[in-house]
Structure 1
Amino acid sequence: MRRILRLMMLAAGSYRREYVRCLQSSLAASVVQAAAYATLIPLLYELTRPQVDEAAAWGWFGAFAACYVAETVLRLYELRFQYSKWADVLAEARLRLGEKLRTMPQPELERRAAGDLSTVVGGNVANATTGVSTLGLLFTQLVTVPAVLGVIIAVVDWRLGLVLAVSVPFAVFFVRRIQRLSGSGFRGIDAADARAADRIVEYVQGLPLLKATGQVGRQSRRLADALHAQGEAMTSMQKRVTWPGLLASSVVQLCLVAMVAVGAALVLGLDLSPALLLAVAAGAVRFAEPLATASAMSQVFELTDAALERVGDVLACRPLPVGAPEARIGRFDLAFEEVSFSYDETPVLRGVSFTAPERSLTALVGPSGSGKTTITRLLTRYADPASGTVRIGGLDLRDLDPAEIYRHVSVVFQDVYLFDDTIRANIAMARPDATDEEVEAAARAANVHEFVSRLPDGYDTRVGEIGGALSGGERQRISIARAILKDAPIVLLDEPTAALDTESEVAVQNAIDALVADKTVLVIAHRLTTVAGADQILVLEDGRITERGTHAELIAAGGRYATMWAAQTRARHWRVPSTAT
């Protein structure tokens, strides 16, 4: 519970102090509740005496009523947090998770599957905040009431107290057994849920391919196996905790039977009055109730514990450090100084050094896997290099707030991601305060306006999930319009025309020309004809720059670039051979 409480404090966020006060109120209310049951012992004793002392009886009744009034007041304060702040804690926790995902190093983010993160931000955080608002208070009550009543019963008669003291460890043993079994079980269920969620996302996104290969519905083995494993994990956990739960409840019931039996023997031996036994039995029932509840609720505690652990794991992830948060970019030249970088200990860049002057165009060419995309990622501080320095305007990126970098960099990827919103909203994401006229001007510059004007709803047309309602060329032009609207002084292009047909390529190339005017541009190119006019071309192989220069210089050198150029020139004359016999 100490670990759960620590995680609850983490999940409570800025509401931590209010939560602590709520726990204190719950503790006080539980003590008062136990005291109320304690007042029943002398009250029942007085009412069953041959000569009832009315003043004493009314006094104890008054104490009983006062305890319940005090408990009600304290519970109201407790419930005010539980019901009025729970939604706020949930909303803040999700925003904190979103902020954490924003600042998380990209390799760490990519390590986590989309379905896994969806489970954390969705169900796990809801279960975690439910624990903050409910289970912490319930635990306080479950522990405090039996503890206080146990002391009171022991004071009334040490022999009855001894019966309770002997039986409680057995009940606790079975409760702990349930916790251990359900703890590992819920972690297995949670992992199975995450895998199933990831497979569902994969299934929905890959449905066209799955249909083409006949892997839909029950034939989709990857999805079916994940759902089967999810069901198996739930069934296994339930089977494992059934018997310990029954035994814990049975021990609690036997505890009451044993105490009444001992009390009856004491009454028959004239060592205890029947009234006092009746009063103590009433308190013992309230003593045993939380123990039975604890055995039944242990699975809920473990479910919350598993959820808190997963949420806490994301919240505890350390963001990239910022050496000089106030630093501001003043100029827009780029520099790599002996930069090395690895993915999971696999070297990708090895001592890369180059400079890209302000308002110049630098092209990166080379075979797949040579490190071209990694260079563009490091310029947006995807991660920090293992060694060396990446600079913008002479400033080390490790000193810059990522938001400061993003303000000055536009990126156009080969694979465009559009949100399931209108065309206007997707373009305006680059500058949410832009007017409709500014959005349309950017769209015209990117050759978007032409096809948008043919759509029934114009700029209010929804693009579908991931832009699925549009063609590849249309999606690419929208992403370029977004970059034009942002008007950042540094532009990174990751082969934006590689997957387009000839007509779309011409339209996108014209849009790119409008985007890169007077900018510092770094472009990844596979079609060398698109970068023949670059100010400098860097040839990468196996994570190293093997050649650099202009197109004419590299052709004259007769090296790797010249070989690639000759191969692509020959490929332009390639034709499909006839199959006629």
Structure 2
Amino acid sequence: MRILRLMVKAAGPFGPQFRATLRVSAIATLVQAAAYVTFIPLLIELCAEPARTDRAWLWVGVLAALVIAEAALRIREMGFTYDYWHLVTEDVRLRLGESLRGMPPQELSKRAAGDLTTVVGSNVTSATAAISSLSALFIKLVTVPAVLGIIVLVVDWRLGAVVLIAIGVAAPLVGVVRSRSGTGFRDIDAADARAADRIVEYVQGLAVFKATGQAGADAPRLNAVLAEQHHAQASANRSASIPVAALQLLVQITVVALVAVGAALMLGTSLSLPLLVAVAVTAARFAEPVALAATMTRLFEMSEAALSRIDDVLSVEPLPTAETGARPRSFAIEFDNVAFAYDGHAEPTLDGIDFTVPERSMTALVGPSGSGKTTITKLITRFADPQSGMVTLGGIDISTLAPTELLRHIAVVFQDVYLFDDTIRANIAMGRPDASDADIEAAARAANVDTFVRRWPDGYDTRVGEIGAALSGGERQRISIARAILKDAPVVLLDEPTAALDTESEVVVQEAISALVKGKTVVVIAHRLSTIVGADQILVVDDGRIVQRGAHGELIADPDGRYARMWRAQSEARHWHAPASAVSPMA
């Protein structure tokens, strides 16, 4: 029942059709069991002295009618697989996609890419296969033995006692199989997810692995999870094999016991020969689904593991949003006494953050790594809600804005650019999918993308490779900026966009950023202080607090302040030269 409830939940909008199919399956199984029961009166009529052939033919007709009825019901039962299986598969994946889209980013960041790939890929395939076929098989495996067991009990209580004893012995064995299989398949699923994640990591980081001699057979990070995956599979198989074998042996012993007790009763004239034959036929039919169920229990538990992982993603509550329909009319950003701690962290990452970014102004965030700068920008995009305080956009609490409404007004340029394995044109168009080619190329020219695109024969139709691997860091960053220019959002967040670039690329990217931020409300995380001297205000963040604020001239005027010390350190670093002793004599 637990598995069936998960199946109904996974079936989603197709739940009514799925439940109807289960009802048809149950009726078909009862008809099948009734067909087996007709063997009892049929054999009685054939073994009578003299044989009552007219009545026997009547029972043959009943048997034929039941067989035909079952066949018709089975055809209708299979209709769900033919008509809805692919629709359920598509719907589950779409609901998973919707759940991931609405999932709080803080929650999403905890889940590895390989784990989610396994859920959306193989787990959905296993779950929908269970919904389409295993569910009907489950009903058959349970209903047929139950009905036949009742028939045996009605024929003779002593034969029924054999069945009841067998059930009493089998129940704990089934529990052991379910427990071990469930744990084993959950372990296998977790190991598969970790392996998928490491495979993605291995492919993306292959150049690094080659350079460090950790590729191929000498890849310890990949080999470790593959070994873990093998161990989980082998352990799951071993742990359940003995109780499964014991269940199958018990089924065979029960059949032999039924026939033996029936023969003893017949010899003692307590049971007629026709009934003994009927009991033998019933016992054989009883044994088949029960023996199959002993093996299939593991398959049901595997399906439950897949269904549970899907349910785990679908059950995550999205960030709450008040249904106010509010829309910002202006685009100033304000943090009002904001405190925030990541899940599982006792110490707050931000504490008492108060500042305002006026509309169409630039605010720079500077400070050491881990001070909370990136967390501030994440809260603006509602990565999570602060534990206290409020973040507003245009005077409206962003927690009352629908995520699509909030992000429609914000463009983000990250330090680590993600490009899709598509053309340059398609990657820029991500900023506004309905943009014309002319608009895309205008944004590209503003971001200095056109300067390198013209060198390639395919121009804007050049594919960039996986994660933009065919491009340099500066080229990827310029495409990211072109994407943001095309979106033309009133708020722009820049997370150290030039930190990893060489001097030449930095100059070109800075020109592109200048085109992007014109007339916008801008928050920039700066690593190189020389790039933000013109900011309207600079916030110095340290240990989750704002320790200084002001324009560059004001902050540099305080020689003992944190900003002035950072400025001097960077100025000295720009004039650093390698000592003569460090220079190679071959230079």
TM interval, short-chain normalised: over 0.9
1:574 paired residue among 563, 576, 580: 576
CA distance in 1, matches of 2:37, 2:315: 45
For residues 199-214 of structure 1, the aligned pairs below 5 Å read 199-214=198-213
Q: Do 1:196 and 1:226's aligned partners in 2 also have CA atoms closer than 8 Å? A: yes
CA distance in 1, matches of 2:548, 2:166: 81
1:21 partner SS: helix
Q: Do 1:175 and 1:294's aligned partners in 2 also have CA atoms closer than 8 Å? A: no
CA distance in 2, matches of 1:268, 1:194: 61
CA distance in 2, matches of 1:128, 1:317: 19
Structure 1 stretch displaced more, 476-485 or 179-188: 179-188
CA distance in 2, matches of 1:25, 1:323: 43
CA distance in 1, matches of 2:462, 2:282: 68
CA distance in 2, matches of 1:539, 1:425: 38
Q: Do 1:171 and 1:291's aligned partners in 2 also have CA atoms closer than 8 Å? A: no
For residues 432-581 of structure 1, the aligned pairs below 5 Å read 432-558=433-559, 559-579=561-581
1:82, distance to aligned residue in structure 2 (A) = 2.3
CA distance in 1, matches of 2:563, 2:323: 40
CA distance in 2, matches of 1:495, 1:193: 35
Extract unaligned runs of 5+ from structure 2.
none
1:480, distance to aligned residue in structure 2 (A) = 0.5
Amino acid at match of 1:463: V
CA distance in 2, matches of 1:266, 1:342: 76
Q: Which residue of 1 aligns with 2:387?
A: 386
Q: Which residue of 2 aligns with 1:371?
A: 372
1:334, distance to aligned residue in structure 2 (A) = 0.4
1:324 partner SS: coil
Q: Which residue of 2 aligns with 1:198?
A: 197
- The yes-or-no answer on 1:277 pairing with 2:276 is yes
Amino acid at match of 2:328: I
CA distance in 2, matches of 1:456, 1:50: 96
1:79, distance to aligned residue in structure 2 (A) = 0.8
CA distance in 1, matches of 2:412, 2:440: 18
Q: Any idea what the Cα deviations from partners look like across 1:3-37, whole Å, max 9, x if unmatched? A: 22222122111111111111111111111111111
CA distance in 2, matches of 1:134, 1:388: 52
CA distance in 2, matches of 1:239, 1:18: 38
1:176, distance to aligned residue in structure 2 (A) = 2.3
Q: Do 1:325 and 1:401's aligned partners in 2 also have CA atoms closer than 8 Å? A: no
CA distance in 1, matches of 2:572, 2:553: 18
Q: Which residue of 1 aligns with 2:251?
A: 252
1:485, distance to aligned residue in structure 2 (A) = 0.7
2:349 partner SS: strand
1:113, distance to aligned residue in structure 2 (A) = 1.5
CA distance in 1, matches of 2:4, 2:449: 54
Q: Do 2:478 and 2:512's aligned partners in 1 also have CA atoms closer than 8 Å? A: yes
Amino acid at match of 1:237: A
1:325, distance to aligned residue in structure 2 (A) = 5.1
1:502–1:123: structure 2 CA closer, same or farther, 3 Å change rule?
same
Q: Do 1:539 and 1:545's aligned partners in 2 also have CA atoms closer than 8 Å? A: yes
Amino acid at match of 1:311: I
Q: Which residue of 1 aligns with 2:413?
A: 412
TM-score, with structure 2 as normaliser:
0.96
Q: Do 1:491 and 1:520's aligned partners in 2 also have CA atoms closer than 8 Å? A: yes
1:283 partner SS: helix
- The yes-or-no answer on 1:83 pairing with 2:82 is yes
Q: Which residue of 2 aligns with 1:355?
A: 356
Amino acid at match of 1:561: Y
2:541 partner SS: strand
Extract unaligned runs of 5+ from structure 1.
none
1:312, distance to aligned residue in structure 2 (A) = 1.2
Q: Do 2:424 and 2:463's aligned partners in 1 also have CA atoms closer than 8 Å? A: yes
1:147, distance to aligned residue in structure 2 (A) = 1.1
Q: Any idea what the Cα deviations from partners look like across 1:149-184, whole Å, max 9, x if unmatched? A: 111222223322222222222233322222222221
Q: How many residues align?
A: 580
Q: Any idea what the Cα deviations from partners look like across 1:286-345, whole Å, max 9, x if unmatched? A: 112111011111111111111111111111111100013522222111000001111232
CA distance in 2, matches of 1:452, 1:485: 17
1:121 partner SS: helix
CA distance in 1, matches of 2:324, 2:88: 28
CA distance in 2, matches of 1:28, 1:329: 58
Q: Which residue of 1 aligns with 2:142?
A: 143
Q: Do 1:329 and 1:404's aligned partners in 2 also have CA atoms closer than 8 Å? A: no
1:85 partner SS: helix
1:137, distance to aligned residue in structure 2 (A) = 1.6
CA distance in 2, matches of 1:543, 1:28: 65
Q: Do 1:365 and 1:526's aligned partners in 2 also have CA atoms closer than 8 Å? A: yes
CA distance in 1, matches of 2:195, 2:294: 29
CA distance in 2, matches of 1:438, 1:57: 84
Q: Which residue of 1 aligns with 2:260?
A: 261
CA distance in 2, matches of 1:234, 1:566: 59
User: Please, what is the CA RMSD of the aligned residues?
Assistant: 1.5
